[in-house]
Amino acid sequence: MSSLQPVRGTHDLMFDDMRRHRHIEAVALEIAGRYGYGEIATPVFEFTEVFTRTLGDTSDIVTKEMYTFTTKGGESITLRPEGTAGVARAFITGGLAQQTPLKFFYRGPMFRHERPQKGRQRQFHQIGAELIGVAGPQADVEVIALAAHILKELKVAGTITLQLNSLGDVESRLAYRDVLVKYLSERRDQLSEESRARLERNPLRVLDSKDPGDQAAIKDAPRFTQYLNEASTTFFREVQDGLTALDIAFTLNPSLVRGLDYYSHTAFEFTTDALGAQGTVLAGGRYDGLIKDMGGPQTPGIGWAAGIERLSMLLSDLAPAKRPLAVIPVGAAEERPAELLTAELRRAGFSVDLGYGGNMGKRMKRANKVSAIAALILGEDEVKNGVVTLRNLDSGEQSSVPRTELMAQLKPFA
RNA sequence: GCGGGUGUAGCUCAGUUGGUUAGAGCAUCUGGUUGUGGUCCAGAGGGUCGCGGGUUCGAGUCCCGUCACUCGCCCCA
């Protein structure tokens, strides 16, 4: 392996890839703005504790996927594997508890040491939204509506469905946890090794397993919905009613258990059938305990994150970039006048390509290659007569335009 | 972390039961056209066959290892 290869699971983004990323970010940011979100950028690395305390000691991300290193000063630092922990930390650091509700939108790279696949990289990019300080279900509805709105505006391909579940409040979850552990323990020998480990540490995750043995064991397990207390049930009902009122379709999925430990109540996931195994395009949920767990004041929150690379794969082709004008000097004597004309046109707002040498034929070829919409040819005669030859590169029509009329004549190409 | 597939020119790929100088299309460059591109014609350059080792008189082809990509498991965005 050459050391000039990019690190496994990382990619260079250029030109068209970047345009797609920017488009997704721009659309998301604009829509989020309509919902009152302001942008936040937290550092790409934090003290390791920020993640271990919030994501939970049992989550896969913490136990096997973090890029953690020790600095020269002996501090343990981790490249952020997700965005919520950093935003919550910033919320506490900034003493923002007095200013709730607050709405944060973020975008940027995340890092997870996973085995790369289609739609799964070690450095990838997310957009995300967090609404902090609203305990009621209308927050859940609005946050999900924002997500749905962005996906709709991006016109992503394939069938996207919204899966919805409730993880209940702490009381409900503890009650259910006891019942579930008891049930699963009785069928311990049917469970996969992975699930047996989870039984001790995070039993709800067993419900998420696709292992056939686990599936069979889970089949008649007590349903969480039966153990939701009244408050949790009402909350979940109101979320569903709110979504229905907004005409946002969803599917209830009792086995939807988020991988991160900080979630409670609403959990949701927008999935597609168009990306193979990596079907989750946007996911999130409510995290009422997170900020307090981190050492801040008790503050409810809800949010989501979406993978830009995955969205990008679902995006149809972007509108082509703005086509430039090509300025073409015929001989050495016209180089300087061509540079001046180019500068003038750029100041006037045009995108202009000025070739870098070669005879006229070569420069015309280059104009074609950069898909220029028109060529402005400047030769000895043109300079002498104060005109430029304007050639429409699509139609081949060509005319001599006095410099004084040039800007007006170029209007159709702007 | 586990299992399967793939790796030949810048790109997409072909390469017979192992056998001489490894091919095509596209792209690039040059010329036809020293003030006119996109079409066309002619020609040229470009490959340690992912990397390392092994078997063999001989390896792109077979074997082992390794790296990367890819599909699935897992996990998730």
**Which of residues 133-192 of A have CB within 7 Å of strand B?**
none
Q: Which nucleotide is closest to the Cα of A123 by its C1'?
A: B77
For chain A, the domains span 15-169+229-314, 325-413
Helices (H), A59-127: 60-64, 84-93
Please state, in angstroms and rounded to a whole number, the distance separating the CA atoms of residues A239 and A267.
11
Provide, in whole angstroms, the distance separating residue A1's CA from nucleotide B52's C1': 10
Superfamily of domain A15-169+229-314: Bira Bifunctional Protein; Domain 2 (3.30.930.10)
CB A35 within 8 Å of CB A103: yes
Please state, in angstroms and rounded to a whole number, the distance separating the CA atoms of residues A379 and A398.
14
Q: What is the ipTM of this complex?
A: 0.85
Provide, in whole angstroms, the distance separating residue A413's CA from nucleotide B32's C1': 33
A362 touches strand B (CB under 7 A): yes
- Tens-of-pLDDT digits for all 414 residues of chain A? 345 678 888 888 888 888 899 999 999 999 999 999 999 999 999 999 999 887 766 677 777 789 998 999 999 999 999 999 999 999 999 999 999 899 999 999 999 998 888 888 999 999 999 999 999 999 999 999 999 999 999 988 677 899 999 988 888 888 888 888 888 888 877 777 777 777 777 777 777 776 667 777 777 778 888 888 999 999 999 999 999 999 999 999 887 876 666 788 999 999 988 877 778 999 999 999 899 989 999 999 999 999 999 999 888 878 878 899 999 999 889 999 999 999 999 999 999 999 887 889 989 999 998 999 999 999 999 999 999 999 999 999 999 999 999 999 999 988
Please state, in angstroms and rounded to a whole number, the distance separating the CA atoms of residues A39 and A313.
25
pLDDT of residue A259: 61
Bases of chain B below 7 A from a protein C-beta are: 1-2, 28-30, 33-38, 50, 66-77
pLDDT of residue A248: 95
**Which of residues 384-403 of A have CB within 7 Å of strand B?**
389, 391, 393-396, 398
CB A9 within 8 Å of CB A123: yes
Per CA to C1' distance, which residue is closest to B72?
A: A277
Please state, in angstroms and rounded to a whole number, the distance separating the CA atoms of residues A85 and A126.
14
CB A104 within 8 Å of CB A130: yes
Separation in Å, CA A218 to CA A67, A189, A200, A252, A330: 34, 13, 16, 17, 78
pTM of the model: 0.91
Three-state DSSP at A185 gives helix
A276 touches strand B (CB under 7 A): yes
For A334, phi then psi, to 5°, come to: -95, 0
Q: Which nucleotide is closest to the Cα of A205 by its C1'?
A: B75
CATH 3.40.50.800 for domain A325-413, yes or no, is yes
For A220, phi then psi, to 5°, come to: -105, 20
Task: Say yes or no: do domains A15-169+229-314 and A325-413 share a fold.
Answer: no
DSSP assignment letter at A158:
S
Picking from A300, A303, A304, A289, the residue whose alpha carbon sits closest to that of residue A171 is A289
pLDDT of residue A187: 80
Three-state DSSP at A412 gives helix
Provide, in whole angstroms, the distance separating residue A6's CA from nucleotide B54's C1': 30
Per CA to C1' distance, which residue is closest to B36?
A: A361
Q: Which nucleotide is closest to the Cα of A60 by its C1'?
A: B75
Provide, in whole angstroms, the distance separating residue A368's CA from nucleotide B27's C1': 15
Query: What's CA A128's distance to the chain center, in Å?
Result: 6
Q: Which nucleotide is closest to the Cα of A112 by its C1'?
A: B76
Provide, in whole angstroms, the distance separating residue A380's CA from nucleotide B65's C1': 67
Q: Which nucleotide is closest to the Cα of A82 by its C1'?
A: B77
Number of other CB atoms surrounding residue A240 within 10 Å = 19
CA angle A178, A180, A182 (to 5 degrees): 70
pLDDT of residue A2: 42
Provide, in whole angstroms, the distance separating residue A150's CA from nucleotide B36's C1': 47
**Which of residues 23-62 of A have CB within 7 Å of strand B?**
59-61
Provide, in whole angstroms, the distance separating residue A366's CA from nucleotide B44's C1': 21
A272 touches strand B (CB under 7 A): no
Per CA to C1' distance, which residue is closest to B2?
A: A115
Helix (H) or strand (E) run with residue A280 in it: strand A280-286
CB A122 within 8 Å of CB A114: yes
A119 touches strand B (CB under 7 A): yes
Please state, in angstroms and rounded to a whole number, the distance separating the CA atoms of residues A171 and A245.
29
Please state, in angstroms and rounded to a whole number, the distance separating the CA atoms of residues A14 and A312.
13
